[in-house]
């Protein structure tokens, strides 16, 4: 039995579909994934959403679905997972006692549990209930040696498994940098999938910025008749015609760039990576973690304060080398929460005195407490005349001109790579970290370096590049 027959059978998945007609395009998409025959009308739908000339001749190894919000992605992912778990005979590829894994991978377990919730509902159907061996919070063990599991984005935790299928949920929002970059996770998955014939990799997501493996797959393979990789792109209404068009129209009116991505499945034009990896790596001096004080050098200090609950409290010191003209990051300190802000101010003040610095610049919105806390340590706290975006926009040309030497700091490297530039109406761009990430180290370092770039050390005199 193929997946379409299972969906249309009322004893199987069919009972979960309220109106089969509203899922017509998803059925075509599934036929494409598994290389099932299509009629002429279905081939037209297939070509419309893949821009491929030829109908598929067999199952695709890798599948990337770029679909608008509320398009039915999570439910279809659950159907695919259950179909692969229940209707395929994987035993020829498993040793006695060996388990085959179907993994739902998401940025966090809360997100993965949405799909797991659908999977549990499917497996409660009368026809499947007796297939369950045991059910855990994050795993369902079946009697046929298959385990359905939810995993978070950690490439180290994916090694050592025999993976039958991997469903990468909302892959456009996986981190492209840091400890578990999206590309590293796919790199860990592919060898595990390659050892099992008919295994499936499914990346399914609403689009986001023009970066990361989802965008790169779209850019390089959309519209090409690749026998191994399928790219399917469709707006919400194409995959779920029950969504109100008024909701979509309002979203587009309120924020066209975001609405286009959310509902029309278009990668955002207003977002781009702020600094290239090559630019960042070229600025880093390998194995340089901090520099001692140099006599007769004027240092600039910048801080990104925090109350000690969510964000880090950071301090950066920099100077301009008069001989080379380079702007050098000498020291970068980070205190991660939880901590006592007053204790951190005392510690940072000791470092400032070590470098003969008695004036520090920081966020103008930090509040009165930080000014008083530094004043009590005989350090003058000055509110920055530039906001965070303006600091970054002045920092970019310094990086582009290879005028900066950075410390070999993993957190700084990661945060600089994750910064995004958002194009705003009115001519001024905004630079910030993506939702859920941090830029405390990057903000302090950029602030100190921008200050040191001016001979007089005045951050307020800089020209903001829009």
For residue 304, tell me if it sits in a domain.
Answer: yes
Helices (H), 320-387: 341-354, 368-375
Output the pTM of the full model. 0.67
CATH number of the domain bearing residue 284: 3.30.420.240
Q: Are 439 and 432 in contact (CB under 8 A)?
A: yes
For the stretch 116-127, pLDDT in tens is 889 999 999 988
Whether 287 is in a domain gets the answer: yes
Q: 364-369: which pairs have CB atoms within 8 A and are 24 or more residues apart?
A: 366/305, 367/305, 369/341
Q: Which of 240, 257, 291 is the last residue of a domain?
A: 240
- Residue 200: inside a domain: yes
Residues 229 and 285 placed together within one structural domain of the fold: no
Q: Is 142 among the domain residues?
A: yes
pLDDT confidence band for 80 (50 / 70 / 90)? very high
CA gap 297, 326 in Å, rounded: 13
Residue 176: its pLDDT value, please? 60
- Indicate whether 320 and 191 sit together in one domain: no
Alpha-carbon distance of 379 to 347, in angstroms, equals: 12
Pair 226, 346 in one domain: no
Question: What is the pLDDT of the chain when averaged over all its residues?
Answer: 88
Separation of alpha carbons 70 and 431, rounded Å: 29
Same domain for 236 and 281, yes or no, is no
Distance CA 452, CA 433 (A): 23
**Number of independent structural domains in the chain:** 2
| 72 neighbors 240 (Cβ within 8 angstroms) | yes
Residue 65 and residue 126 in one domain: yes
Same domain, 295 and 346: yes
Helix (H, G, I), strand (E, B) or coil at 50: helix
Q: List the one residue out of 252, 218, 237 whose CA is nearest residue 72.
A: 237
Tell whether 263 is covered by a domain: no
| Residue 466 within any structural domain of the chain | no
Residue 13 in domain: yes
Structural domain containing residue 391: 277-461
- One domain, residues 222 and 334: no
pLDDT recorded at residue 366 = 60
* 122 and 216 co-located in one domain: yes
Instruction: Flag whether 188 is in a domain.
Output: yes
Cβ–Cβ < 8 Å for 26, 4: no
Indicate whether 214 and 303 sit together in one domain: no
What pLDDT, in 10s, does the model give residues 208-262? 888 788 988 999 999 998 889 999 999 999 999 999 999 999 999 888 888 999 9
Same domain? For 406 and 296 the reply is yes
Q: Are residues 341 and 292 in the same domain?
A: yes
Query: Residue 406 has what DSSP assignment?
Result: B
CATH number at residue 235: 3.40.50.300
């Amino acid at each position: 039995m193929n997946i379409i027959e299972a969906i249309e059978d009322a004893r199987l998945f069919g009972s979960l579909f309220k109106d089969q007609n509203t899922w017509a395009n998803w059925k075509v998409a599934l036929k494409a994934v598994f290389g099932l025959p299509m009629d002429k009308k279905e081939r037209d739908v297939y070509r419309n959403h893949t821009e491929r000339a030829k109908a598929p001749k067999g199952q695709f190894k890798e599948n990337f679905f770029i679909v608008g919000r509320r398009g039915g992605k999570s439910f279809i992912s659950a159907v695919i997972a259950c179909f692969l778990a229940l209707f395929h005979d994987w035993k020829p590829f498993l040793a006695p006692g060996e388990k085959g894994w179907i993994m739902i991978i998401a940025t966090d377990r809360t997100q993965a549990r949405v799909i797991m919730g659908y999977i549990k509902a499917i497996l409660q159907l009368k026809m499947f209930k007796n297939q369950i061996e045991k059910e855990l919070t994050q795993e369902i063990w079946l009697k046929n040696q298959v385990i359905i599991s939810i995993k978070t984005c950690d490439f180290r935790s994916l090694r050592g498994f025999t993976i039958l299928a991997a469903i990468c949920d909302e892959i456009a929002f996986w981190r492209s940098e840091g400890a578990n970059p999206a590309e590293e996770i796919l790199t860990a998955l592919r060898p595990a999938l390659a050892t099992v014939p008919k295994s499936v990799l499914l990346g399914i997501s609403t689009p986001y910025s023009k970066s990361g493996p989802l965008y790169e797959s779209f850019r390089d393979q959309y519209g090409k008749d690749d026998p191994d990789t399928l790219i399917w792109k469709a707006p919400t209404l194409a995959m779920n015609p029950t969504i109100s068009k008024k909701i979509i129209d309002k979203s587009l009116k309120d924020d066209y760039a975001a609405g286009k991505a959310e509902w029309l499945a278009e990668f955002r034009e207003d977002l781009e990576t702020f600094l290239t990896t090559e630019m960042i790596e070229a600025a880093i001096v390998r194995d340089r973690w901090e520099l001692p004080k140099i006599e007769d050098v004027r240092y600039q200090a910048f801080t990104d304060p925090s109350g000690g609950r969510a964000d880090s409290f950071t301090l950066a010191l920099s100077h301009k080398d008069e001989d080379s003209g380079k702007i050098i990051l000498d020291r970068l300190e980070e205190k991660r929460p939880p901590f006592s802000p007053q204790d951190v101010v005392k510690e940072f003040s000791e470092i400032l005195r070590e470098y003969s610095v008695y004036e520090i610049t920081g966020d103008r919105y930090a509040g009165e407490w930080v000014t008083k806390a530094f004043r009590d340590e005989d350090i003058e706290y000055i509110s920055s005349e530039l906001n965070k975006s303006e600091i970054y926009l002045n920092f970019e040309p310094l990086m582009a001109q290879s005028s900066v030497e950075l410390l070999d700091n993993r957190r700084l490297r990661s945060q600089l790579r994750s910064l995004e530039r958002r194009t705003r109406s009115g001519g001024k761009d905004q630079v910030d970290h993506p939702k859920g990430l941090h830029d405390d180290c990057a903000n302090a370092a950029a602030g100190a370096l921008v200050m040191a770039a001016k001979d007089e050390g005045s951050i307020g005199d800089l020209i903001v590049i829009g």
